[in-house]
């Protein structure tokens, strides 16, 4: 690789087609406890894609799954239109599926009710999105439709679809294929890194205790991948900013770089550069603005307001208040808990901008 490879990484787009129904009491009740936006997603995605299209120096965009709210067929159709428009502006897009991309019985909102809408089966997804990774791949696995694409001279991307049938049960059934692809990259002198939806490594020690925060069997899978020679995996799902590292007994390492949702707090757009010395540097931007009534807030303030509101409502739903004094004590506790949870999900400075040496595993602040 003579020239540095540059690309953007986004995830958890969760597009919802508003014509299905995105208002009323049922919508407001759902929105109160959701970290991500729903009705606003079209406006946010349009703004984000305009930002990406405006950068004439970077042509590659990676998307780590969850293209729709809950697998609505109409949302997939709308999402494909947006991807086609971005591709028409000269961008090459690679994506994988997430656990919100297939559902037999998704729903929309009408008044006080949720209403059934047409869904999408998992088997249809690789064909729907064939232009975004599968077509032109140098290898495609037959069961889960994982693929390997040549991003540039000496660099390969492995897209791993582990959310078959809407589960997070890892990908033991395709590990042999994964090992073959890592070995083939080595034989050809190429660096290979991965992209999958649910994290391989937990985002924090607290989240390691929660089932739906990482793939099942994560320790064994991460160690085997590291020892096979896969140094890094880009992930999403958790709507958080985190960089985590595992080192095996053999001294091999693997990084999990989890990225916040494009349509919620922390809203994240990672800008990545990989140089000829296999040092990967990244910074993190956000959606500067989007066309929506944000109640006088900036985009960042709006995302943060929604994040705080979700956490507060979830905590308050579990607290019984019997007196004014008790209420005040709980409000102080609530404020403290929200801050702690927000700090976990928004991450530290190194979770949003860093340099990772993929030869040695060293991590440093970048820009310095």
Going residue by residue through the chain (368 aa), what tens digit of pLDDT does each one get? 568 999 999 999 999 999 999 999 999 999 998 999 999 999 999 999 999 999 999 999 999 999 999 999 999 999 999 999 999 999 999 999 999 999 999 999 999 999 999 999 998 999 999 999 999 999 999 988 999 999 999 999 999 987 665 556 678 889 999 999 999 999 999 999 999 999 999 999 989 998 889 998 899 999 999 999 999 999 999 999 999 999 999 999 999 999 999 999 999 999 999 999 999 999 999 999 999 999 999 999 999 999 999 998 887 776 666 655 565 566 777 888 889 999 999 999 999 999 999 999 999 999 87
pTM of the model: 0.95
> Strands, DSSP E only, in 137-276?
139-140, 147-152, 155-159, 191-195, 232-235, 242-247, 253-258, 269-274
Identify which of 54, 56, 66 has the alpha carbon closest to the alpha carbon of residue 161. Answer: 66
Strands 279-285 and 354-357: antiparallel
Paired tokens of 65: 């799954």
Q: Is the peptide bond before 85 cis (omega within 30 degrees of 0)?
A: no
Phi, psi of 243 (to 5 degrees): -130, 120
Phi, psi of 224 (to 5 degrees): -65, -40
Mutual angle of helices 25-32 and 299-316, in 10-degree steps? 90
Q: Give CA–CA dist 135/20, Å, rounded.
A: 31
Q: How far apart are the first and last CA of the chain?
A: 24
Per the rule left: phi > 0, alpha: psi between -120 and 50, beta: everything else, 126 is alpha
Domain borders along the chain are: 5-365
Contact 262, 36 (CB under 8 A): no
Which residues, 6+ apart, have CB-to-CB distance to 120 below 8 Å? Answer: 68, 71, 72, 73, 76, 101, 102, 103, 106, 128
Cα of 350 vs its chain's centroid, Å:
18
Architecture, CATH, for domain 5-365: 4-Layer Sandwich (3.60)
List residues bridging with 235 in a β-sheet.
258
């Amino acid at each position: 690789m003579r020239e540095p490879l540059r690309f953007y990484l986004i995830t958890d787009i969760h597009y919802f087609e508003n014509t299905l129904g995105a208002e009323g009491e049922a919508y407001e009740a759902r929105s109160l406890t959701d970290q991500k936006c729903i009705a606003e997603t079209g406006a946010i995605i349009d703004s984000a894609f305009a930002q990406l299209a405006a950068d004439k120096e970077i042509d590659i965009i990676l998307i780590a799954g969850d293209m729709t709210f809950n697998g609505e067929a109409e949302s997939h159709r709308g999402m494909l239109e947006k991807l086609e428009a971005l591709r028409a502006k000269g961008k090459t897009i690679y994506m994988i599926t997430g656990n919100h991309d297939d559902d037999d019985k998704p729903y929309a909102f009408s008044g006080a009710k949720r209403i059934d809408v047409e869904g999408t089966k998992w088997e249809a997804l690789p064909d729907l999105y064939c232009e975004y990774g599968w077509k032109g791949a140098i290898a495609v696995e037959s069961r889960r439709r994982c693929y390997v694409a040549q991003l540039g001279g000496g660099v390969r991307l492995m897209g791993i679809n582990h959310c078959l049938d809407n589960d997070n049960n890892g990908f033991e059934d395709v590990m042999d294929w994964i090992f073959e692809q890592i070995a083939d990259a080595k034989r050809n002198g190429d660096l290979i890194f991965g992209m999958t939806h649910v994290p391989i490594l937990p985002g924090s020690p607290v989240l390691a205790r929660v089932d739906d925060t990482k793939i099942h069997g994560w320790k064994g899978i991460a160690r085997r991948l590291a020892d096979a020679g896969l140094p890094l995996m880009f992930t999403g799902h958790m709507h958080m900013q985190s960089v985590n590292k595992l080192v095996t007994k053999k001294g091999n390492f693997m990084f999990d770089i989890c990225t916040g949702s494009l349509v919620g707090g922390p809203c994240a757009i990672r800008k990545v550069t990989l140089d000829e010395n296999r040092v990967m540097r990244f910074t993190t931007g956000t959606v500067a603005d989007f066309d929506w009534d944000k109640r006088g807030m900036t985009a960042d303030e709006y995302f943060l307001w929604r994040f705080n509101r979700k956490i507060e409502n979830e905590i308050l739903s579990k607290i019984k208040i019997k007196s004014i004094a008790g209420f005040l004590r709980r409000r102080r506790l609530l404020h403290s808990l929200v801050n702690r949870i927000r700090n976990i999900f928004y991450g530290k400075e190194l979770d949003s901008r860093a340099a990772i040496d993929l030869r040695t595993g060293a991590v440093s602040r970048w820009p310095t």
